[in-house]
Chain A
Amino acid sequence: MLRWLKPVLALLTAVVLAWVLNTKQGDVPPVARLLSPYQGFWQNGESAADFPDQQTLRLPGLHQTVRVRFDDRRVPHIFADNDHDLYYAQGYLTARDRLWQMEFMTRVAAGRISEVVGERALEYDRFQRRMGLPFGAENSLREMLKNDTTRLVLESYSAGVNAYISQLSPREYPFEYKLLDYAPEPWQPLKCALLLKLMAWDLSGRSDDLRLSNILSKYGPDVTRDLFPDFPFRADPVVPDGTPLGFQPLPVPPAPVPFAAAVSGLVPTREPDAELGSNNFAVAGSRTASGRPLLANDPHLQLNLPSIWYQVQLHGPGQNVYGVTIPGAPAVIIGFNAEVAWGVTNVGGDVLDWYQLKFKDARRREYWHAGRWKPVRRVVERIAVRGRPDRLDTVLYTHHGPVVYDQNETVFNKQTPVRHALRWTAHDAAGANEVLAFVKLNRARNYQDYDRALRTYASPAQNFIFASRSGDVAIRPNGLFPLKYAEQGKFILDGSDPRQDWQGWIPMSQTPRVLNPARGYVSSANQHSAGPGYPYYLGWDYAPWDRAHRINGQLARMRRATADTLRELQNDDLGLNAQLMLPWMLANLPAAVATGATAAPATAATTTPATSEASARRLLARWDYHYSAEAVGATLFELWYQELVRRLWEDDFGKQATGLEMRLPARDRTNQLLLSEPRSPWIDDRRTPQRETTPDLLTTSLQFALDSLTRKFGPLGPKWAWANQKSTDINHLAQLPGFGHQDVVCGGSPGSVNATGPRNGPSWRMVVDLATPVRAYGIFPGGQSGNPASAYYDDMLESWRTGRLDELVFLQAADENHPRLQAAWRLEK
């Protein structure tokens, strides 16, 4: 018996070891399967032979032959003889480069991450579903499939993606599937719709309604109106003041008596990213060297790898368009053709509101509205969880929308109020068809085509900028905007009062707009859509004016502009906030600080030598307000100003001091108070017996900034460079160490035109010169390939970092010669 023990023990050990190495253990990948050179990641390598200069691929489902040329950035230029083949090829080639990313993002949108990573994503998945992203996507898909054009586009694109997926054996799965140990699933048009909703969430899914209601209840209407005004002191709206309306406005619903919402003490765990934004601008021929318009666009999103965008040229019947696409969605989103160019920036309008509900009883089957009890619709969400039984979650739907949280259990995003129904344009689909809008823009030849294309574009609302070779420049904040009475939805609304329901929509023909203004340029940078002359209330909380005002100032000075002039403006790093505030801050900083004689008692034990305060002051006085990579002044000012603002408001609006969840007044209002209301009671720290003044705040906050920077970087010196403090990171979507780029040395700041921050920044920079022939330039911080083994994963990063653009290869015919073309493929049925 004993003689069997040894072999059995050895074998048992081998079997257990093999099992452990072959199985995903928690977050640890199946090590041996991942590392096997026969099946694992080694098979994902990319050598020259993997990308032949000439080849013919057999793809079932194509109707005719499609020809594809690749340039030296691996951008596919697709030439198809019919629309089906064109979008089929787009789907196929996008999947070839980005399959994992596009599929993963649809899982993010749909709340299906638990299926891949297990229980730890459960609350995230519940949240996505309760916010109604899949609900909105299904509504949207229904409309898009009703339309013959978009049905063809979506189904062809999906067929192309599936053609690629069906070719793959497990050893060919993209790297991330092997790491996370799962397999791609068939693509469906619904996934395209989900990606649109994810965009809507990123760009319009934030709301301060709860915080504002808490402020209103604590400080009353006068303070709220004073500190949270609907229109800023410094403004430079997208549609300039004085632009003729050109329409007869609809009557606005009457405002009911304000509603006193219940105070809610929730704590946010995930703050909205206020700095997501974008720039676009176009100059008319009167200001350009060629006499034809120029257009530029740079959407600022979270910087990730694989890149957010994928470049493509689509040549088919009635169209030849180039631009960037969202991997997983058909058609070009931002781009140009021989006649027109267009781009988008986000509109900060308020299209998401919360309604406080009154349920009949604890069973929550009925809610009170318009004087009677109405039934709640219950929708059961089934969430698949890896390694666990499916989880069921019942979501309550009212006529407003879903109740994101209906009971006090674990709350993922605590910004979401409890027992409130969500009303959000991303759920509305009647008449909306965003894919159709982009398909039409791709084919647009003039302003009328642009105008017609935008009519079905609903969510997320965007500032669509436009320029044509025939000389038009235009912009319009476009999308589905509820027809609101003033300040409707600035605070929590009463879900039982029908007068507080959304009453209808601003007609698509009455969104703010401007065509060929006398000033010879149009632009947007997420600021207010229109001035006070616009008849409808759109919202109150837009991005500060800094970027917009700098852009307009520079555009107004342009004469004989070229594409390079616009490129330089995209890279402009002047900080208007610093320009406005720093002289005042230095002038009001007590001289004592400069000599180091006094500091607030609390910071008396500082390690910062007094000389560094004097040199800091000298350095700041010499700083030119440019957020260049090496600027030390930028580092110092940013932290000083940020600390000043914190110390100003923390005692009045901070959670710790007040016990309430509130937000701080906007930067514009804060600056106004600092600059012109020196005796404002808000300046005093109400937690201390003595009365603080602005010089006190300036002193203590500068002291704090110096201390913390000295701790971080050592004594004042070149290490304090802005690039080090800002520390721009471009991370892999799954946050994999080694798969991104940390501490990219580049200039810019969230408030300057080159809006590069720690994690967000220009995700695509494009400049189009609408001369004959059209010439265009573009770059994004990554590459065309989503494969981390490929040289084309991040080959554009260095050009992006240094502010350069690639000339974009825009072909007229499939057999055209161009020195930058590298490969010619044929896709045949």
Chain B
Amino acid sequence: MKSFFILFLLIFVLASLAQLLLPWWVVLPLCLGLAAWRGGSARAAFGAGLLGVALSWWLPAAWLNLNGAGLLAGRVATLLPLGGNSWLLVLLSGLLAGLVGGLAALGGAWLRVSK
């Protein structure tokens, strides 16, 4: 549990910082590296990658949804189509990025075991 929590926090903080400057897919090598270095069980690594990266999207997206981008998010949520629900869009887009993070972390954890 502890290893999950540390990995999750590391991923969340570093992914948030890295994405300020780098493309979003930087979460892939980041999660891979962090999980290979610190990862616990495969399940914990996947969860930490998924939630850490998702949170790195959920927080800023939720903030922006409340501060200036809500109207546009509603339109994009109509376009996609998600029935115009911008919070559903926040949730799903975070999960999408989280899935990449989770898979990368899973790979990292398995890599660590296989060494």
List B contacts of A412 (CB < 8 A): none
B14 sits at the interface (CB 8 A): no
Q: Which residue of A lies closest to B112 (CB)?
A: A7
Selected from A6, A36, A46, A738, the residue in CB contact (under 8 A) with B76 is: A738
Check A36/B108 contact, CB under 8 A, given A17-B99, A18-B25, A738-B78.
Answer: no
**B79 touching A42, Cβ below 8 Å:** no
Check A42/B69 contact, CB under 8 A, given A7-B111, A737-B81, A738-B78.
Answer: yes
**B75 touching A788, Cβ below 8 Å:** yes
B10 sits at the interface (CB 8 A): no
List A contacts of B89 (CB < 8 A): 35
Check A738/B107 contact, CB under 8 A, given A22-B25, A44-B69.
Answer: no
Selected from B68, B96, B100, the residue in CB contact (under 8 A) with A789 is: B68
Stretch in A8-16, A119-127, A263-271 touching the partner: A8-16
Distance in Å: Cβ of B89 to nearest Cβ of chain A: 7
Q: Which residue of A lies closest to B24 (CB)?
A: A36
Check A21/B100 contact, CB under 8 A, given A37-B61, A39-B24.
Answer: yes
Selected from B28, B61, B64, B67, the residue in CB contact (under 8 A) with A18 is: B28
**A10 touching B103, Cβ below 8 Å:** yes
A46-73: which residues lie under 8 A (CB-CB) from chain B? 46-47, 50
**A36 touching B57, Cβ below 8 Å:** yes
**B75 touching A739, Cβ below 8 Å:** yes
Question: Chain B binding site: helix, strand, loop or mixed by DSSP?
Answer: helix
CA–CA, A737 and B82, complex, Å = 11
Distance in Å: Cβ of A171 to nearest Cβ of chain B: 10
List A contacts of B103 (CB < 8 A): 10-11, 13-14, 17
Extra contacts besides A11-B32, A36-B24, A38-B19 (18): CB < 8 Å: A3-B114, A7-B111, A7-B114, A10-B107, A14-B28, A14-B32, A18-B100, A22-B24, A35-B96, A37-B61, A42-B61, A42-B64, A45-B64, A45-B67, A46-B69, A738-B74, A738-B78, A739-B75
Best-surrounded residue of B60, B73, B107 (most CB of chain A within 10 A): B107
Check A737/B107 contact, CB under 8 A, given A14-B100, A22-B25, A41-B69.
Answer: no
Best-surrounded residue of A7, A46, A738, A791 (most CB of chain B within 10 A): A7
Selected from A3, A11, A44, the residue in CB contact (under 8 A) with B104 is: A11
B1 sits at the interface (CB 8 A): no
Q: Which residue of A lies closest to B32 (CB)?
A: A11
Q: Which residue of A lies closest to B92 (CB)?
A: A35
List B contacts of A50 (CB < 8 A): 68
A558 sits at the interface (CB 8 A): no
Distance in Å: Cβ of B84 to nearest Cβ of chain A: 7
Q: What are the nearest 7 A-B pairs in CB distance?
A: A738-B78, A45-B69, A45-B68, A47-B68, A789-B72, A14-B103, A10-B107
B93 sits at the interface (CB 8 A): yes
**B107 touching A791, Cβ below 8 Å:** no
CA–CA, A42 and B73, complex, Å = 7
For B42-58 the 0/1 string (1 means CB < 8 A from A) is 00000000000000010
Distance in Å: Cβ of B92 to nearest Cβ of chain A: 8
List A contacts of B23 (CB < 8 A): 22, 33, 39
Distance in Å: Cβ of A174 to nearest Cβ of chain B: 11
A370 sits at the interface (CB 8 A): no
List A contacts of B111 (CB < 8 A): 7, 11
**B100 touching A17, Cβ below 8 Å:** yes
CA–CA, A6 and B42, complex, Å = 11
A716-740: which residues lie under 8 A (CB-CB) from chain B? 736-739
Selected from B19, B75, B77, the residue in CB contact (under 8 A) with A36 is: B19
**B60 touching A42, Cβ below 8 Å:** yes
List A contacts of B96 (CB < 8 A): 21, 31-32, 35
B110 sits at the interface (CB 8 A): yes
A775-820: which residues lie under 8 A (CB-CB) from chain B? 787-791
Best-surrounded residue of A14, A738, A787, A788 (most CB of chain B within 10 A): A14
**B32 touching A38, Cβ below 8 Å:** no
List B contacts of A34 (CB < 8 A): 76
**B69 touching A736, Cβ below 8 Å:** no
CA–CA, A639 and B73, complex, Å = 40
Q: Which residue of B lies closest to A175 (CB)?
A: B72
Q: Which residue of B lies closest to A3 (CB)?
A: B114
16 contacts between A and B (CB under 8 A): A4-B114, A7-B107, A7-B108, A11-B104, A15-B28, A17-B100, A17-B103, A31-B96, A35-B89, A36-B19, A39-B23, A39-B24, A42-B60, A45-B71, A738-B78, A787-B72
For A573-586 the 0/1 string (1 means CB < 8 A from B) is 00000000000000
For B79-102 the 0/1 string (1 means CB < 8 A from A) is 101001000010001001101100
**A6 touching B110, Cβ below 8 Å:** yes
List B contacts of A791 (CB < 8 A): 71
Distance in Å: Cβ of B56 to nearest Cβ of chain A: 9
CA–CA, A719 and B70, complex, Å = 34
CA–CA, A17 and B20, complex, Å = 21
**B79 touching A37, Cβ below 8 Å:** no
List A contacts of B97 (CB < 8 A): 21, 32, 35-36
List B contacts of A44 (CB < 8 A): 69, 72
CA–CA, A762 and B75, complex, Å = 25
Selected from A22, A38, A45, A787, the residue in CB contact (under 8 A) with B20 is: A38
List A contacts of B81 (CB < 8 A): 737-738
Selected from A11, A36, A788, the residue in CB contact (under 8 A) with B107 is: A11
CA–CA, A817 and B109, complex, Å = 66
**A789 touching B69, Cβ below 8 Å:** yes
**B24 touching A33, Cβ below 8 Å:** yes
**B72 touching A788, Cβ below 8 Å:** yes
List B contacts of A45 (CB < 8 A): 64, 67-72
**B79 touching A739, Cβ below 8 Å:** yes
List B contacts of A175 (CB < 8 A): 72
B34 sits at the interface (CB 8 A): no
Q: Which residue of A lies closest to B46 (CB)?
A: A10
Distance in Å: Cβ of A4 to nearest Cβ of chain B: 6
CA–CA, A789 and B65, complex, Å = 11
CA–CA, A41 and B89, complex, Å = 12
Distance in Å: Cβ of A460 to nearest Cβ of chain B: 33
Check A46/B24 contact, CB under 8 A, given A14-B100, A21-B100, A36-B57.
Answer: no
List A contacts of B75 (CB < 8 A): 736, 738-739, 788
CA–CA, A789 and B89, complex, Å = 15
For A298-322 the 0/1 string (1 means CB < 8 A from B) is 0000000000000000000000000
CA–CA, A13 and B31, complex, Å = 14
Q: Which residue of A lies closest to B21 (CB)?
A: A38
B7 sits at the interface (CB 8 A): no
B106 sits at the interface (CB 8 A): yes
Q: Which residue of B lies closest to A4 (CB)?
A: B114
**A10 touching B110, Cβ below 8 Å:** yes
